[in-house]
Chains A and B, each alone.
Chain A
Amino acid sequence: MSSLRTRYAGIVRRRIAWLAFFLGALLLSLATDIATGPSGLSVSEVLRGLFRRDALSGPQGVILWEIRLPQALMAVLVGLALGLAGAETQTVLNNPLASPYTLGLTSAATVGAALALVFGWSAGGLGQHVVVPGLAFLCALGASLLVLTLARIFGTGVDLLILFGIALVFLGNAIVALLQFIADSAALQQVVFWTLGSVGRATWPKLAMLAAALLAIGPWSLGDAWRLTALRAGEDQARSMGVAVERLRTLALVRASLLAAIAVSFTGSIGFIGLVGPHIARLAVGEDHRFYLPASALAGALVLSLAALAGKTLVPGVVLPIGIVTALTGIPLLIGLLLTQRRTW
């Protein structure tokens, strides 16, 4: 009979294979997303244009480099950010329904964007393309600080944190509804479009900011991987192993808040990824956070990238907002994994 350690080594190899699968599928989805669009660029033109922009005509270069590439990459980066943020949130709140959305961050971002859109704020001539995401980010950050502060005052009981978050969701929804009620028809349309979630506002500077946040926060999260894994045995168990649980919970929520705040301020309300990415990852690689954290990020990115692709292809000639189609791509993936894992475990 093989030793337990040999069998565990086999399990670890399978998990690494899952990570490779998610990465491969993500790259394939990204390439297909870049090569797909209503403008009729051929695959060979896209390939040539990727290496030499001047091989394309002016409008074709703009389509590839200013629209398709930033939007496709934005879907990937936002998916990575929300998947990772969701995984950490679910672990430290010990709740499979937790996500940045549950903490009220998405609602707060929507309040910020709606304020800027309804009142037409342009903050000293900065323009709405800066003010809307800027205010959305500030509101999301404010919401996370509020949750963390209230939790610190009343003790970081997990149920209390979730209750605060849910209260913020309802408060945010009420404020947005009020703003929609008083908005003129043009502003109302913009607020509704923002709440649908879209990568259509992607730009290279926004991509750079999100990539920088991921590069800073990703390794930081992975550095806490074993402590987060220990927490999955229970709070007292983790404490008895030397894990400072309150500190870990606060740091994880700060990381998740930052990632989610930046991501949703650029794309609008996308709530589903932070929930489903970690569940897909959990089914594939379990809850050892050395694998679970990267798998959650990759699964989130894969679902959102597939959603971006589906948004372009479901209705010919029309690009659907990504927030509408995330559930359409995420749920089949989740159900497929549920069925597969039931057969093999």
Chain B
Amino acid sequence: MSGLRIENLSVSYRDRGVIENLTLPVLPRSSVVAVLGPNAAGKSTLLKALAGLQPSNGEIRLHGENLNRMDANLRQHRVGYLPQALPLASGLLAYELVLGAAHAAGGGGGPGRAERESRVEAVIREFGLETLAFRRVSELSGGRRQLVGIAQVLVRRPQLLLLDEPTSALDLRWQLEVLARVAAYARSEHAIALVALHDLNLALRFCDWTVLLTDGRALACGPMNEAITPEALARAYGVPVRIERCSQGHPMVITGGAPGSGRAD
């Protein structure tokens, strides 16, 4: 079966349930899925569990394959995860970080050395990092480090991308560029990208689907234009909002009223 199926997924931190029995409709391939919700809703935990970095119960099936029963090596070929934390400010060169990520995807029938180096070169140029490629990561700004981290994920060509707040350190131009490139990647490679975001307008503009979480439960899940409603957002965030179209036709979330005054329930 094509797509990402999540059934009865539960994740705990030290006996405290963060996500409990989460079941979602099948998330289709070639789509970008916004993972939305207030702070501590379980967005990062969900992405970590899907990446296999957080033990979980339940079923996670990617195109029919159960990720939790998959060999760890194979799983990291299928799944690319960008943590919320930026790459460490280490003495490694930006080029080496991306090359190392490509190397990780190299074993077990992955691309050969020449192919890996071509991919590294292409992705570094795609993110405008060629003049910084041979700088130590410790010398790069937070935004550049985030771009290097994204390049590390994309160079591995995963089928499932899990990006935890990939635009948190980026300026406006690169927020748009990164999400446009992720969307283009998902379409061209028939991949699924789950992107945890706080900026609802970026989510509305670039994502096809959404999972709206509160307290580890899905308040809404579905195609963006159906699942994201003013009522759902007001319930999730506790702020009255309206959704209007700008002069270019893009939907935009506009807040109104004092925080907490517009709960729809």
Contacts and interface: CB of A to CB of B under 8 A. Distances in A.
Interface of A: 3-5, 7-8, 11, 94, 226, 229-230, 232-234, 236-237, 239-242, 282, 286-288
Contacts of A242: 72-73, 76, 104
A94 B124 CA distance: 26
Contacts of A94: 88
Interface string B87-128: 110111101110111011000000000000100110010000
Contacts of A236: 53, 81, 83, 85
Interface in B131-148: 133-134, 136-137
A94 B92 CA distance: 13
A287 to B, nearest CB: 4
B152 interface: yes
A229 B73 CA distance: 18
Contacts of A241: 76, 100-101, 104
B53 A233 contact: no
A226 B124 contact: no
A234 B164 CA distance: 15
Interface of B: 51, 53, 72-73, 76, 79-83, 85-88, 90-93, 95-97, 99-101, 103-104, 117, 120-121, 124, 130, 133-134, 136-137, 149, 152-153
A282 B92 CA distance: 9
A247 to B, nearest CB: 12
B55 to A, nearest CB: 13
B167 to A, nearest CB: 18
Given A4-B121, A232-B91, A237-B88, 16 more contacts: A4-B124, A4-B133, A5-B117, A11-B93, A232-B92, A233-B152, A234-B88, A236-B53, A240-B76, A240-B80, A241-B101, A242-B72, A287-B90, A287-B91, A287-B92, A288-B92
7 contacts: A4-B120, A5-B121, A226-B100, A229-B96, A236-B85, A241-B104, A287-B91
